[in-house]
A and B are shown apart, each in its own frame.
Chain A
Amino acid sequence: MPGAKFDIHYVFDYFPKQLSTLSLTLTIVGLSILLGLGFGFLVALPRLYKVPVLQRVSQVYVSFFRGTPILIQLFLIYYGLPEVLKLFSVDVTRTPVLAFVVLTYSLHAGAYISEMIRAGVTAVDRGQVEAAYSVGMSGFQAFVRIVLPQALAISLPVFANLVIATLKDTSLAFSLGVMEMTGKAQTLITLSQHFVETYIALAILYFVISFILEKIFYVLERRLLKHERQEAGAGTGRRFGWRSAPTLRNLLTGTTRGRGGARARDGRSEA
């Protein structure tokens, strides 16, 4: 058994210490998502508007960043980018590690965001664009005023997942020596050898943050999708989500939802 004997006090003790590095974690997440949105748009546009060569380029970019583990991308960019830039005689040896980390996460997020934008825009009805053109909007106006707001609402759940996934992925930045929450946890461990307690505190921290993020996005989503609420309510009754195993008694007394219940009620009134 590695480390010192389990002592629950260390969980509470280390909690504030790890909390102090929360700002760095959130900075990485925030910057990466912002930059990622930029990359995502740049990459999504050629594919949406079917620009000849650029379309292939963005396809390869997305495939690569979605097809390789983020951990390898981190190392690849950290070690590779300086060497590639050296060929163009740009010296980046003094750039802080954080810059490489943020760049990697934003490129990674950018690939997913571009797919998200593509899916969102494709989900917007074609007639919306045609209607925008027919009232005399330009292509840019139609995209920004009509398509984008709808696409955003559609893709918000995906975006929420992406932000939370990025938050969890930041735990890998320690491997390049960035002092975010996981890195801090590792230094605390080298001091005290209390492995499990530290990681329990770390897990709780991550969980609380992602829980809060999820709640925020949930509220946002409800607000953005206000105009579609009525449609969402209909048609859910007939899905497979039964509350409990349907028993004969339930079927007879008509307590199940949907058509079965209505039929049972009819039968009773006849009797």
Chain B
Amino acid sequence: MKLDPAFIWTAFVKLLPAIPITLYLTVISVLAGLLFGTGIALLRIYRVPVLSQIASGYVTFIRGTPMLVHLYLVYFGLPAIIDVVSESFGWSFRSVSVPYFVFAVIAFTITASAYMSEVVRSGLLAVNRGQLEAAHSIGMTTPQALRRIVFPQAFAASLPNLTNSLIGMLHGSTLAFTVSVVEIMAKAQIVASTNWKFFEAYLAAALIFWGLTVLIERIAARVERRINVYNRGGVA
């Protein structure tokens, strides 16, 4: 087996069509995770009885187990649950008709919402309490104050963490190859084993991920500069 630099480019071109799948996996699970994570974070910050304990248990457990295990549990456990439920209701719907992609997204959302809830929570805790009190004092309701005053500032504070989580989920999406979703990693494996050129194929995949990561970092840096404008001090 000889090193074939030209094949890196060939593999690179072959991997390009798989990028959208990886991005869909990442973006959908991060957005859904952000939504659920915000809910979890609010439950925990407001110390809603019972629910907040459940929420912390959930976050601790998910953060203490590998993403791969979540994926496997959803992939092998959820179809059984779906089938039992739909059978008991007499539906004709069966888990076989659900594409693998959906299971991967659900599993990654479960992972992401735990990590995102911590991101959102630390962001909210970074906002000065007086901001909320000021909003209340001019007659805003708590949801209004949260939406208009607290969340924008919390977003600015948690943007670096958010970027890290997004990159983490992007990298984590490679695990979807274990449940036969053809994203970049799976495509690289296919290209590698059909051409018997493993090193070159994985190198091309690594380059794509590297590029995507650097791109996300650049965009985040730009957004961060923009969003922290209010914080710059001075008079003009």
Contacts and interface: CB of A to CB of B under 8 A. Distances in A.
Contacts of B53: none
Kindly state the interface size class of chain B when it binds its partner.
35 or more
Contacts of A69: 170-174, 185, 209
A64 interface: yes
Given A63-B214, A196-B73, A242 B206 contact: no
A190 interface: no
B128 A240 contact: yes
Interface string B175-187: 1011000000100
The B interface is mostly helix, strand or loop, or mixed, namely helix
A203 B65 CA distance: 6
Given A67-B210, A68-B206, A76-B202, A240 B126 contact: yes
Contacts of A177: none
A73 interface: yes
A168 B65 CA distance: 6
Contacts of B65: 168, 203, 206-207, 210
Given A83-B1, A168-B65, A68 B213 contact: yes
Nearest to A207: B64
A111 B37 CA distance: 28
Contact of A240 (B64, B132, B205): B132
B79 A2 contact: yes
A181 to B, nearest CB: 9
Interface string A138-159: 0000000000000000000000
Contacts of B133: 246, 260
Interface of B: 1, 3, 45-47, 60-61, 63-70, 72-73, 76-77, 79-80, 83, 95, 124-133, 136, 142, 150, 167, 170-175, 177-178, 185, 188, 192, 198-199, 202-203, 205-206, 209-210, 213-214
19 contacts: A1-B79, A2-B76, A3-B76, A66-B213, A67-B213, A68-B213, A69-B173, A71-B185, A73-B206, A76-B203, A79-B202, A182-B68, A196-B73, A203-B65, A203-B69, A207-B65, A239-B129, A241-B125, A243-B47
